[in-house]
Every structure is written in C-alpha cells, then in structure tokens.
Structure 1
Amino acid sequence: MDFTIPPRVEDFRQRIYNFVDTHVLPLESDAASYDAHGNINLPLLDKMREKAKAEGLWSLQLKQETGGQGLDKRGMAVCYEAMNRSIFGPAIFNSSAPDDGNMMVLEQIATPAQKEKWLQPIVRGDVKSAFVMTEPHPGGGSDPSMMLTKAEKRGDKYVVTGTKWFITGAEESSHFILIARTSDDPRNGLSAFMFHKDQPGWRIKRRIEIMGPEEHGGHCELEFDGLEIPEEDLLLTEGKGMKITQIRLGPARLTHCMRWLGLSKRCTEIARDYADQRHGFGVRLADRESVQLMLGDLAMKIEIGRLLVQKAAYALDMGSRARKEVSMAKVHVANLLHQAADVGIQINGARGYSKDTVLEWIYRYARQARLVDGADEVHKMVLNRHLNEEGDDFWKWPVAEA
C-alpha cells in the first residue's frame, strides 16, 4: 500500500499551511474578525478570498475546466486538513459546506447550461448556496424516503409546497438545490431542482438558534407555498432525486471528516503549546504522565482518522460509492473532534474554557459533528447491514490484477 502523496499535492498542502499560518490564524484573536454568529465577518472573508485566489489556492476540489485545480479525493483530504487548521480556513478557500458539496454534485450531474447558470457563480464566489433536504417530523431527516415536501407538475413548471428546516446557509444563499417529492414511487419518487432566492412562493420562516457558532447564513426553517420552478431547472430527470442525494452526500460526509481532522490537530497543537510552557507544583504539564497519556491517545486517534479518511477517499477515487468506508470515517472523526476539543480545554484549564483560544469555539461546534449528515447510530446501522450482507468479506482486501 502506497501512502505517499504526489509532489503537486504536497506543494498545495505546504502553501495552504503557510497561508493559514501567515494570514488566517492572526485573525482569530481579533474580536473584530467575527460576525454576530461567531464566524468570520463577510467583508473580511471577501478580502481573504481574494488573497487565496491570487495565490492559486481557490476551489482546489473542482476540475480545471470548472475553475479549480483538479485534486482527487485523496489530494483533497491532505489539503482540507491543512485548511481547517483555522476555524476560518474552509470558507476562505471555497471548500466549506454546503457550497463544497453543492459545487461537486453540480459539476458531476448538471447540464452545460445549468452549470453556467447555477454552478459558475458559486465557483467564482459571487453567491452562496444551500442544500434543501431535511424536514421537521413527520418528514424526512436521515431517511429521505419520509419526505413530504411536494413538487407538483403543472404544465412546464413544478409547484412546490411544504416545509424544510436546518437548512445550512439559507439566510446568505442565492442558489438552492431542493429535494422534493414528485410521486409516491418508493424508489423514484424524489426529484432535485434548482431555484433562486428571488423567486416568489417561499420564505425563510426563522433562523434556528443553535448552541455552537454558525456557518454564514445559519440553519433555517423554510416554508414553500407555491414556488414555481421551470422544467429547465430540474436536475437530471424526474425521479432521480434520491440518486442525486446519494451522489452528493457520500463525498460531502467525507469532506466534513477531512476538515474535522484539521480542527482536531489544531486542538492538539494548542494543548501541546500550553503544556510545554505551563508549570505547576514544580513540574511542567508536558512532563506529567497524565498529560502525556491524553496527548498520545489523541495523536493515535487522529492518525487512525486520517487512515480511515484516506481509505474512503481512495474508494471514491476508484469509482466506489464507499458507503461503509465513509460511515466508518464519519463516526470515528466526529467523535474524535469532540474528544480533541475536550482534551484541549482540560489541559488548558480555565484558559481553554475562556475565549482566549479557539478551543471553546471548536468545542461548541464539535457537538454537531455526531449529528450532521447522519447521526452516529445511523452510520453504525449502515455498517451492521454491510456486515450482515458481506459476512467475512466485510474485511476483505481489494486484490490487484496479476
């Protein structure tokens, strides 16, 4: 097994690391850098995005003809980890959710006309986007087959009615990918559409307050009461909504993990720096066995996470849907992030609980990781299903051709 990375990927990784170190990390300690919801303020974000573009570090995950650098999933894993050494990093490099997943799915399945209309403005950074799927009870959450929002065909338009919630980024978004029911067919009853924020027939009912810092545009509840979407803004064909959801969510779950590994490493970095400097009862914290055990355990679990992510990325690059590989990575890294923030705070003591570091920010943010894009329990059930179907083949190695 070859764990080396191409020199081109290493070049991007090193340049991202240096960019974050020089331009981004200093912003975190300045209260003026933040918006009212705990993220980088938009004027500053625009300024930093221009710097990233100027240094050729923009939208690395997309094909060169789309406006990116054509990194595969393994290369993305290396670079996304480096980007999220800062809490502001992904947004600056145009690799943050939900734009990241939306761009990749549109690049894969949209028509040329749809790409020009809906994708390119996101690629350029002119607009933000959202993925509109989750519904309140009794609608679809982790189980999209429960979806109640309807898109009824009337002539050459679809008319949408229903409610969605926890739609990330909705308040700042202009372009929306909507998943709605177009028939009662259990396999082909969902369809995917594009719509613009200025189209009538829908509204943001509320921005849902959450315990952690928020992505730009928050997490919103949306109401649809007659939104009309022309046929030309249907993605693929009617009834392909579940397929599009699967195409989007697998890689998107893994890119979360890539970014969370960067945050986990940052927590360890802050903890190590403090442990090296802080003395108590005549002993450096770093020399205490209890601290060494905590940091050693974190280092091991971060490396396990990186290996799981790379294996899943490899499977995706090879054309697999990588369901079990992505689920294993998602469960492990989501729990790792929470542990890394907790350990970082514990070692830093009161300093870690304060806003003198970003540890408390990461801690509040981390709790959502075990919920978003499928709760831990859902992914473990997916793994158990594969275990029952595959038996001992669950652990088989892919064999190279002779």
Structure 2
Amino acid sequence: MDFALSPETDAIRSRIRAFVEERLIPLERDPASYDEHENIAKPLLEEMRAEAKKQGLWALGMPKSRGGGGLKMAELAPCYEEMNRSIFGPVVFHGAAPDDGNMRVLEQVTRDDQKERWLQPIIDGKVQSSFVMTEPDGCGSDPSMTYTRAERRGNDRWVVHGRKHYITGAAEAKHFILIARTSDDDRRGLSAFLFHADQPGWRILRRIPIMGPEEHGGHCELEFDGLEINDENRLMEVGDGLRLTQIRLGPARLTHCMRWTGLGRRALEIAMARIENRMAFGQKLADKESVQQMVGQAAMELDIGRLLTMRAAWLLDQGSLARKEVSMAKVVVADALHRAVDTSLQLLGARGYSKDEPVEWIYRYARQARLVDGASEVHRMVLANFLRKQGKDFFAWGAAGRG
C-alpha cells in the first residue's frame, strides 16, 4: 500500500482546495448564504455547483462516461477531505450523502435501462435521492429488523405498507431506494425497489427536528399505505435487499470518514490561527504546554483516522468488502472529529461557542458521526466478532486478515 498521491489526483485535490479557499469559505460568514435549516441556500448552491461542473470537479466518484470524475476510492479520499474543509463543500461538488452513496450503489447494481432512468438524473444534479431503510422500532443498524412489507400482486407489481424514519433528504428527493420485507427468510427476506416521489401511496408524516444543521430535505418520517411499484423497478433479485445494503453502506461509511477528516482539519485550523495570536498572562496560547497537548492529541487522532480510511479505501479498490477495516475507520474517525472540534471550541472560548465562527455549526453536526451508518458500539461489536472468528489472523498482514 503506497498512499502517495499520483500527480493527477494531487492536481484535482489542489483544485478543490483552491475552490474551497477562494469561493466557499468566504461564503460561510454571510447569513444570506444559509437556508432556514442552516445549510447552503438553494440559489447559491446552484451557482456554486455550476462553477464546480465547469472546473471538472463534479461527481468525482462516478464514471467519466456519465459526467463524473472516474476516481477510485483511494483517490477520492484526499479530494473529499479537501471538500469538507468547508461546511458547504460536499454538496457543492456532488459528493454529499445520501446522493453520493446512492449513486455509487446504483452504478454498481442497476441494469442499463435503470441507470438511464434512475441514476443519470441524480448524477446530473437534476434530482435528489434518498435511501429508505431505517424504521421506528425496527431496523437501524440491523436491517434484518425491517417490518415494512412489499407484497407481490400478480407477476408485475408490488404493494408496500409500513413506516420509515430519519430518511435523509426525503423532503426534497425525487428518486428513492426502498428496502422492504418480501418474505420471512432470515437471509433472503429483504428486497430493494425504486420509486418516484410523484407516485401515490406514500407520504411524509413530518420532517424530524434534529440537534444539528440539516441536509437539504431534512430527516423525515414516511408512511407507506399501498404504494405500488412495478416489478421492473425492483433492484437486483428478490431477496437481495440485505446484500444491496451491504454493497451500499460500506463505501458510504468510508466516504463519511473522508469528509469528516476535512471537517476536523478545518476546526483545528481555526483554532491554530487563534492560539498563534491570542495572548494570555503574557504568553501566546500556542506556547502553553497544556494547549500544545490538546492540539497535538487532536491532530494525531485525525491522522490515525485518515490512515485507517486510506487502508480501507485501498482494500475496496482491490475488490475486498473491507468490513473490518471500514468499521475501524468509522469508529476512529468519528471520535477524532469530535476530539478536534471539541478542542477547537474549547480553545476559542466564547468565540467558538458563538456563531462568529463555524465551529459551533461543526460541533453540532459532528455529534451525529458516532451514530449515523451504524453506531460506534455496533462497529466495535463487528470487530469483536471478527476477532473471535479470525483469532491470530485478525492481525494478519495479508489477505487472511481482511474483512
């Protein structure tokens, strides 16, 4: 594993860095840049997206033949990190959840006709998408607990009843990937479907208020009361729903890690600029040993997290599911992000707690990192199960230790 960037990848990373520095970070200080949910306002978003497309920095994980950048996972990592040095970055470059993960899985598993109808409009930025899995009192980290059902009617359609919640982006999404139960089989009981927002038989019950800033379209609770889906809009085979979630969620967790290292870096950058100039008791804050301990620890943990992220990305590029490595990265980077932002806020004092700096925004947003796409406790359980199963091979250098 050589994590040195190729000249081509480093050139893309540098262009993203310049865009973030020159175009996005300055916008964060203007209240007019935000919508009512503390994300970038839609008119401004469209303007910035047009610039990103013009510079060839759009949908970098998608094939070039479909208008993307054609980057592999290990090439995406430094680029996504640079994007999220701005709180507006990922969505501007079309590298934000849930579209990023949805595009990736649709590119992998759909037929050509499905790609044209369901995937290409998402890549082009014409529609948003949502991944509809989590349920009240049902599946969250454990998809097998799904109780929303899709029942076959004849040979050509399915009828869906049930309820979902915390569905990211649902209020503005047009294309949805739905996970529903089609049998009671433990392993083959779930199937995946595609549906459009304009179809009858479902509704948004509410946009759930959350602690932090929201993605466009929020986090919604949905009810299905007879939604009909043609069998041609089924994804993969009947019973492949659990397999689809595994294909989607592993890389999606890792792209979260890529973005979070950028957020953590930004928080530390803001703090470092402050402590290099702030005097207290006749000394710069940056010269105080206690402060050096805080920022040194935070920087070290971020770098450990990005190394774990790069290892998992490299394994995914080799064809591995990298379940063990993705879980490690997810836990470590989520903690490292929280450490970096908490350190930054503490060192900034009242300035960090106020909205004069984006650190309080990042702090509220960052708390979800230990919950989304599997709570840290669940990933630690996954690692423990690998250790029990693999024994000494858990620490193997070669293929035997891969998840």
TM range (shorter): over 0.9
Q: Is the 8 A contact 1:201 1:225 kept in 2?
A: yes
Counterpart in the other structure of 2:327: 327
Cα distance in 2 between the residues matched to 1:66 and 1:389: 41
Which ranges in structure 1 are unaligned for 5 or more consecutive residues?
none
Matched length: 399
Of 65-74 and 164-173, deviating more is 65-74
Larger deviation: 276-285 or 374-383?
276-285
TM-score by length of 2: 0.98
Quote the residue 1:346 is aligned against: 346
Q: Corresponding residue for 2:135?
A: 135
User: Does residue 182 of structure 2 align to residue 154 of structure 1?
Assistant: no
Residue 48 of structure 1 pairs with residue 55 of structure 2: no
User: In the alignment, which residue of structure 2 is the partner of 1:311?
Assistant: 311
Which residue in the other structure is 2:296 paired with? 296
Shift of residue 3, structure 1, vs aligned partner: 2.4
Kindly provide the CA deviation profile for residues 154-203 of structure 1, in whole angstroms up to 9, marking residues without a partner as x.
Answer: 02110000000000000010000000001111111100000000000000
Partner of 1:199: 199
1:140 CA displacement: 1.2
Partners of 1:163 and 1:251 lie apart in 2 by 26
Q: Which residue of 2 aligns with 1:377?
A: 377
If the length of structure 1 is used for normalisation, what is the TM-score? 0.98
> % of aligned pairs identical?
63
CA displacement, residues 367-391 of structure 1 (integer Å, 9 cap, x when unaligned)? 1110000001000000000000001
1:27-106 correspondence to structure 2 within 5 Å: 27-106=27-106
Gaps of 5+ in 2: none
Distance (whole Å) between structure 1 residues aligned to residue 235 and residue 399 of structure 2: 37
**Is the contact between residue 271 and residue 347 of structure 1 (CA under 8 Å) also seen in structure 2?**
yes
Q: Displacement, 1:47?
A: 0.5
Question: Distance between the aligned counterparts of 1:263 and 1:150, measured in 2?
Answer: 38
Distance 2:346 2:391 in 1: 41
1:66–1:107: 8 Å Cα contact kept in structure 2?
no
Q: State the AA in 2 paired with 1:115.
A: K
CA-to-aligned-CA distance 1:9-49 (integer Å, 9 cap, x gap): 00000000000000000010000000101100111101100
Aligned to 1:23: 23
- Cα deviation digits, residues 237-296 of structure 1 (max 9, x gap): 111111110000000000000000000000110000000111111111111111111111
Instruction: Tell me the alpha carbon deviations over residues 195-239 of structure 1, each in whole angstroms, 9 at most, x when there is no partner.
Output: 000000000000000010001100000000000000110011111
The letter for the 1-side match of 2:354 is: S
- Aligned ranges 1:211-222 → 2 under 5 Å: 211-222=211-222
Give the whole-Å Cα distance in 2 for the aligned partners of 1:74 and 1:243.
Answer: 23
Instruction: Tell me, in whole angstroms, the C-alpha distance in 1 between the residues paired with 2:368 and 2:257.
Output: 13
**Following the alignment from structure 2 to structure 1, what is the Cα–Cα distance between the partners of residues 22 and 140?**
41
Letter in 1 for 2:41: N
RMSD, aligned α-carbons: 0.9
Specify the code of the residue in structure 1 equivalent to 2:140: G
Whether contact under 8 Å (2:299, 2:340) holds in the other structure is: no
Amino acid at match of 1:151: A
Q: Post-superposition shift, 1:399?
A: 6.9
Residue 66 of structure 1 and its aligned partner are, at CA, apart by: 2.2
Separation in structure 2 between the aligned mates of residue 114 and residue 232 of structure 1, nearest angstrom: 9
Tell me if the contact between 2:334 and 2:370 (Cα under 8 Å) persists in the aligned partners.
yes
For 2:314 and 2:386, how far apart are their aligned partners in 1? Answer: 19
The aligned residue for residue 144 of structure 2 is 145
Q: For each residue in 1:273-330, what CA deviation from the matched residue of structure 2 results, as whole angstroms up to 9, or x when unmatched?
A: 0001111111111111111111111111111011000000011011010001000000
Aligned to 1:374, what secondary structure does the other structure show? coil
What is the alpha-carbon distance in structure 1 between the residues aligned to residue 140 and residue 351 of structure 2?
A: 38
Structure 2 residue 402 is matched with structure 1 residue 397? no
Amino acid at match of 2:176: F
Alignment match, 1:113: 113
Mapped partners of 1:335, 1:216: distance in 2? 25
Matched residue, 2:164? 164
Distance 1:280 1:110 in 2: 60
The separation in 1 between residues aligned to 2:302 and 2:229, in whole angstroms, is 45
Q: Distance in 2 between matches of 1:364 and 1:5?
A: 32
- Counterpart CA distance in 1 for 2:292 and 2:247 is 42
Q: Is the 8 A contact 1:264 1:340 kept in 2?
A: yes
CA distance in 2, matches of 1:54, 1:89: 16
Is the partner of 1:65 in helix, strand or coil?
Answer: helix
